[in-house]
Structure 1
């Protein structure tokens, strides 16, 4: 080891290296240790002098200073808090893992979760921590699912980071789609209504226009859930009413349904399955243009719509907005 250090010091000086014909000669000159050869000692002294008096540029000095500050900051981040860094046990990876698992197993019970006396932000942070732990160790996945169920029970509003982390890692975290569905239902205003309304407001015409990434992701999720489809339909109905029966809303609904059908076709699914069972027979009939029906079949559909309208106005409006070719026909029938 000492010979290697001396050899490295000699090689650091270009002046000294000029005295050697081969690189191997340097190793040979420091083979005997401690060094007593005056020539070698002089060369070592010259090399050390060059190293100690070497000056770096101010730019390089600043770069090194920044790197050192980053290293110190990272050390502070990974250092155990609350003075635990004074105990060597908290730097031993396997022991620390066992301690963490034992602590969670003992304290992460249903009663303890239900009695959590902490603010929402801390619960979200805990959920993110469990996501990160579960990525590398499946031991924590059941506890993550328990916490998500608790978040749903207390109707805790989630932020974008948490939901995106769950969506991006749902396969590795072995999360059922029902868990993602629950969080979307819980945060429908933020994750369903806002993307739908924002796209409508920002778009003048719905011909030959591409979906935003946000809306595209939302429709992909809706294509997997009848519950999310119902929420989306209700939002559209409300938008239609709020904008005084605007034709633009009808065109927007048609645009959204067409995009949704394209996704469903790829997955070999049928949009009919997303409606409540009691409405499906009517939906099947309404998919056919009114002019293509016989007088008797058209009368039958209109009676069905009237019955639906009498029981639930929102459901009848949803069907008429989804199949808008029946709007005028039904209006005339009810007049």
Structure 2
């Protein structure tokens, strides 16, 4: 109690617009002593399409993937971030402070563009949900219009109730492949929200198909769910190329430009289908524009391909050993 005999009200923190100079100073104080290491941190670039007056339009967020420590730096980037998100100011606030469902929906409304190593989105989402360092909780208190905090449940992925036929398939899979299913259950809510398993082994007669966890917040992962295949799609692509090659409709040693005329100039005319299939072209990989922009419109992804420049001095690819030219399409 104070001198007037009343109980003083707790002092509320001053809130500021996200990425304003005042907010950045408050963020530096809130994360002091817990900054991630520059050499090992995930580098998330946020580029705003509508920065309010006085708000930084470009911010680099350093994220320690082990501890969840954060650091924010406004201005130009000294190197290309691991991930770059181009989005509205309000969407940036939801991405950092919203719950998992709101974060998922940001990738569905068509206004967000992502470039970089898409896989890191999942690791980043987990850190933002769990906030192991408490940095987001401290930052939320000084962020204007921040969405309310939600309690993270480590078993949230496994807590979704699946339809009975899906649950029966999981039980059947656990009887046939108990250790495999135990390993998948261990990863739910830790490294992945959900998983699908299919095993078909003719000699033993084994035929297993099951899905578990969540495909998105509150929605169970089923055998009919459509996951992101990533590199698993390469097997289908290689088989399709092989079938076209057998029919004489395509030559893997031919330049890509024979089949995609717009993929030409700046050395791109020397890149062959075989090089792309075997990862042996001179086109740089990893953080270049070709590897990423997964959440971007098709027109933007094609434009990024058009701007890709092959390093000078790159030798031409070897000629086709078959002599089968393949017709362009």
Q: Same fold (TM over 0.5)?
A: no
Q: What TM-score, normalized to structure 2? A: 0.25
Larger Rg: 1
Choose between structure 1 and 2: higher strand proportion: 2
The structure whose RCO (Cα within 8 Å, separation 6+) is larger is 2
